[in-house]
Structure 1
Amino acid sequence: MGPAKIVIVGGGFAGVECARYLERHLRPDEAFVQLVTPDAGLLYLPLLPQVASGTLNPRSVSVSLRRVLRRTEVVPGMVIGVDSGLRQVIVRRPSGGELALDYDQLILAAGSITRIQDVPGLHEHGFGMKTLSEAMYLRDHVLRQLDVAAVRGEEDDDRERLNFVTIGAGYAGTETTAVLNKVCQAAAKRYFPRLESSMVRWHLVTHGDRIMPELGPRLGAEAKRILAERGIELISGASAQEVTARGVLLTNGRFIPTRTVLWTAGVAPSPLAGHLGAATAKGRIIAEADLSVPGLQGVWAIGDAAAVPDLADGGDGCICAPTAQHAIRQGRHLARNLLATLRGEPIAPYHHPDLGMVVDLGGKDALARPLGIGLRGIPAQFVARSYHLMALRTVVARARVAFDWGVHGLFGDDFLRIGYGDYDQHTIGGFEQTGCYLGNDEVPLLLKALSETGEADPV
């Protein structure tokens, strides 16, 4: 028999860590490894809010898989189906069309997506914070609201543009709200003299009465205090009932006029998890403690898409939380089990205690709970940033992130928009706006119309 064919589905923390470990310990004649992913980069999700705030360059938080993986074949595409009987996966190519990949061992690490509830208008008008494109687009959009509000002067319109609403007070929602509020306040104070910083209002909406409950009650209360001092309104016991182009109606009956609704109310497993014929728990593939999938020979599941028993928390009905920390360690542990399987050796259950949480709220404000020890301020900031640097997978990525932090700390933000959302067409004419100019006969007519409506007055 030739080398075993190992197919890894997903280029996130779990899948990449598994592939890296296999590369270091597999002999070339033992197995051939393929990793299927829509993107060629490993996105470091915990730092996305800092991309949205402009603290970090987008390239700094996305590591090239071809730099990380040298012996693994990276297959661009998305797995859209699995036939466990034929031992094949169906991959949809980015350029269109499908291909089938054979496997002897299949590792499902498809990750998660934003959990979108059935809220009218959310698909059309809501913003997410799950991909690099969403983070960059959100930054552009927020700064555009400041740009427009600084020159229009219409009270109702300005109120809508300078109200920002985040639905969901988990880590992504709280961190993004904190850092973007800081950006808006600084921009209004330094570069928009017509705007008062008090006009900029961020609202953080949560179902419960706590934010980031994993921090514990003491640090959770400290997070509330920091947000309140920054003027961020915490709205407890509510969620979005309807989202429109000019506001959001909450389930408590309150309507907030806004052009920006950021939806971070949890994540859901990849839809692929529901198409395998395997048992699921809340959409996640039920896995054994050794990370194998019951009833599917040669199939394993890890990361956000898998419901893995949490043996460190007793294991009796408890499953591992969908965190980067668990995904990285599950990927490494699965690689060890896979090596043992190929070599006819016994495999071991996954067991890893939670090492704690870190939260960066921008500036000198941070919270951390390493090994159960509560920290705040500069010590917490040091722990948080040290953890992120260690978790990044290449020296290049660490250097870029550290450099960006240093430059931003010394010189601040330029509050520069790239203009991603300003164009209706993704063509040369669309990006360069070559068709927007008026003809000579149209100029006087438009000026006359503006004069009659008062829009021609100088700002």
Structure 2
Amino acid sequence: MRAHGAVRAAHRARAAHRARGASRPSGAGGPGRPRVVVVGAGFAGFQAARTLSRQVGDEAEIVVLNPTDYFLYLPLLPQVAAGILEPRRVTVSLPGSLPRVRLVLGEADHIDMAERLVRYTGPEGVPGELTYDRLVLAVGSVNKLLPIPGVAECAHGLRGLPEALYLRDHVTRQIELAATGDRAEHAARTTFVVVGAGYTGTEVAAQGKLFTDALVRGQPGAERGPAPRWLLLDVAPRILPELDHRLSDTADHVLRGRGVDVRTGTSVTEATAKGVQLDDGEFVETRTLVWCVGVRPDPLVSEVGLAVERGRLLVDARLNVPGHPEVFACGDAAAVPDLTTPGAYTPMTAQHATRQGRVAAHNVAASLGHGEARAYAHHDLGFVVDLGGVKAAANPLGVPLSGPLAAAVTRGYHLAAMPGNRIRVAADWILDTVLPRQSVQLGLVRSYTVPLDTASPELGRVPGGPRKE
């Protein structure tokens, strides 16, 4: 969640003016009704709002502050980029799925815990304020940047729907332009570099190779040119380093068999408009650099002024912020103690975020007199990686699987985990097996609107007067 500098300065000036006589909000949601503000509607925030609305009903006003009116199912973004799923399939309407929750569109700029106030900027640049009696911070994460020259200018990530749509158009455009260029240009435009061999990077390379091969087959005279080249780079000694060796080996075997150039122990030292320089001295000519090296907590968390662990807000086992019994944090924004491994914190995964959102909601409800608070404890259900076609790697309940069975388990898991659109997603998967994908550029997203540095100020924000709610 980001802020325009001028907006933030104005907010701070107003805060200083109010501080002399400010009192803590009480019953912000109306007479006798406390207000619970959930900041963010990702996996953690969405589940927190939904669970809380079911537990407290109309006895509290539940407000979700989010930049968009939908929950985004991030694990399926590579399939949007590869043309398998239509964009709306991976979104779930917040008003439609959270009928007893009030949605406020905007991005949080500042949290004032002394005044119990959240300041935000709306989609049209107008700032506003939300008072709260309980606060759930679930702002999620943004792209992780490294100090490598040219990466911020030349690379694109895959953290949102606009990025997936842009990548889909961009890849299609490169294949189409390559058909009219000379041999050198053809090679550069049909070379695609993915940095980061975690879940997202591995799936992007796996799905992307199938996508571009199909695009090339649809081009006149395709048999005269070389096949599209995909490189998957990572500094780790193997791909999917966070998974069991058997799953990592399965994915590696599938990628290499498909023609993906997998290079472990390799990194990028510079990126330019013409290509990328590798740390082994090779320069790879390309027009496509996809950055999937991981994520970092949203910078808003560090700006709160409380203790953090690698950018994540420190909380106790009940997801409560020490010293602030009215504030809870969950998902990628929170450093949650891992009760199964003393001294460690739970990793930043969708599984943990979803379950933490439910526990946070339960504990907020308990603080309002509904039930008893409980600690967060989680046991892994396993991991799934969709490699496209009938290929996947999965270990449900610790049982390693590969091939068509793993693919069925993987897609079954996604359907079960999605809070909506299951029939539409399943229909798109079925259609993809019997019909060719539509390889057209929609032209809806321009490169400059999806910068890699998602923590930078948004384009087009205009400072305005505050609106208090």
- After TM superposition, the score normalised by the length of structure 2 is 0.87
1:278 to 297, 306, 309: 306
Q: Which residue of 2 aligns with 1:324?
A: 350
- Work out whether 1:350 is the aligned partner of 2:380: no
Q: Which residue of 2 aligns with 1:80?
A: 109
Q: Is the 8 A contact 2:239 2:264 kept in 1?
A: no
SS of the aligned residue for 2:289 comes to: strand
Percent same amino acid at aligned positions?
A: 42
The residue identity in structure 1 corresponding to 2:423 is: A
Give CA-to-partner distance per residue, 1:9-42, whole Å, 9 cap, x none. Answer: 00111111111111112131x3111000001110
- 1:354-393 matches, cutoff 5 A: 354-393=380-419
Distance 1:375 1:150 in 2: 39
Distance 1:60 1:187 in 2: 22
Distance 1:373 1:214 in 2: 16
Say if 1:318 and 1:95 are closer, same or farther in 2 by CA, change over 3 A.
Answer: same
Pairwise CA distance, 1:423: 9.5
Distance 1:380 1:422 in 2: 36
Say if 1:422 and 1:130 are closer, same or farther in 2 by CA, change over 3 A.
Answer: closer
Distance 1:198 1:291 in 2: 53
SS of the aligned residue for 1:290 comes to: coil
The residue identity in structure 1 corresponding to 2:254 is: I
1:404 to 428, 431, 434: 428
1:288 to 311, 316, 325: 316
Give aligned pairs, total.
Answer: 419
The residue identity in structure 2 corresponding to 1:150 is: A
Q: Which residue of 1 aligns with 2:6?
A: none
Distance 2:94 2:272 in 1: 39
Q: Which residue of 1 aligns with 2:4?
A: none
SS of the aligned residue for 2:325 comes to: coil
Pairwise CA distance, 1:191: 3.0
Q: Which residue of 1 aligns with 2:75?
A: 46
- Work out whether 1:126 is the aligned partner of 2:149: no
- Work out whether 1:160 is the aligned partner of 2:188: yes
The residue identity in structure 1 corresponding to 2:117 is: Q
SS of the aligned residue for 2:361 comes to: helix
- Which one is further off, 185-194 or 72-81? 185-194
Give CA-to-partner distance per residue, 1:323-347, whole Å, 9 cap, x none. Answer: 1111111111111111111117541
- Which one is further off, 208-217 or 227-236? 208-217
- Work out whether 1:63 is the aligned partner of 2:92: yes
1:303 to 310, 325, 331: 331
Distance 1:141 1:178 in 2: 17
- Work out whether 1:204 is the aligned partner of 2:269: no
- Work out whether 1:340 is the aligned partner of 2:370: no
Say if 1:197 and 1:45 are closer, same or farther in 2 by CA, change over 3 A.
Answer: farther
Pairwise CA distance, 1:295: 2.1
The residue identity in structure 2 corresponding to 1:419 is: G
Give CA-to-partner distance per residue, 1:174-215, whole Å, 9 cap, x none. Answer: 001110111111221243424557441100000111111233
Q: Is the 8 A contact 2:162 2:445 kept in 1?
A: no
SS of the aligned residue for 1:278 comes to: coil
Say if 1:165 and 1:373 are closer, same or farther in 2 by CA, change over 3 A.
Answer: same
SS of the aligned residue for 1:318 comes to: coil
SS of the aligned residue for 1:100 comes to: strand
Q: Which residue of 2 aligns with 1:18?
A: 48
Q: Is the 8 A contact 1:11 1:42 kept in 2?
A: yes
Q: Which residue of 2 aligns with 1:187?
A: 215
Q: Is the 8 A contact 1:215 1:369 kept in 2?
A: no
Distance 1:95 1:371 in 2: 46
Give CA-to-partner distance per residue, 1:285-332, whole Å, 9 cap, x none. Answer: 111110001122311100011110111x32x22111111111111111
Q: Is the 8 A contact 1:33 1:73 kept in 2?
A: yes
- Which one is further off, 332-341 or 411-420? 411-420
Pairwise CA distance, 1:120: 1.3
Q: Which residue of 2 aligns with 1:103?
A: 132
The residue identity in structure 2 corresponding to 1:21 is: T
Q: Which residue of 1 aligns with 2:270?
A: 242
Distance 2:447 2:240 in 1: 36
- Which one is further off, 337-346 or 203-212? 337-346
What 5-or-longer segments of structure 1 have no aligned partner? 426-459
SS of the aligned residue for 1:67 comes to: helix
Say if 1:197 and 1:332 are closer, same or farther in 2 by CA, change over 3 A.
Answer: farther
Q: Is the 8 A contact 1:189 1:196 kept in 2?
A: no
Distance 1:238 1:286 in 2: 33
SS of the aligned residue for 1:381 comes to: helix
- Which one is further off, 111-120 or 38-47? 111-120
Distance 1:251 1:31 in 2: 56
Distance 1:38 1:63 in 2: 14
- After TM superposition, the score normalised by the length of structure 1 is 0.88
- Work out whether 1:138 is the aligned partner of 2:171: no
Higher helix share: 1
- Which one is further off, 255-264 or 288-297? 288-297
Distance 1:85 1:259 in 2: 49
Larger radius of gyration: 1
SS of the aligned residue for 2:169 comes to: helix
Pairwise CA distance, 1:416: 2.1
Q: Which residue of 2 aligns with 1:220?
A: 248
The residue identity in structure 1 corresponding to 2:48 is: C
Q: Which residue of 2 aligns with 1:176?
A: 204
Give CA-to-partner distance per residue, 1:240-261, whole Å, 9 cap, x none. Answer: 2111001011222221110000
2:286 to 255, 258, 261: 258
Q: Is the 8 A contact 1:273 1:285 kept in 2?
A: yes
Distance 1:197 1:77 in 2: 48
SS of the aligned residue for 1:213 comes to: coil
SS of the aligned residue for 1:409 comes to: helix
- Work out whether 1:2 is the aligned partner of 2:2: no
Q: Which residue of 1 aligns with 2:123?
A: 94
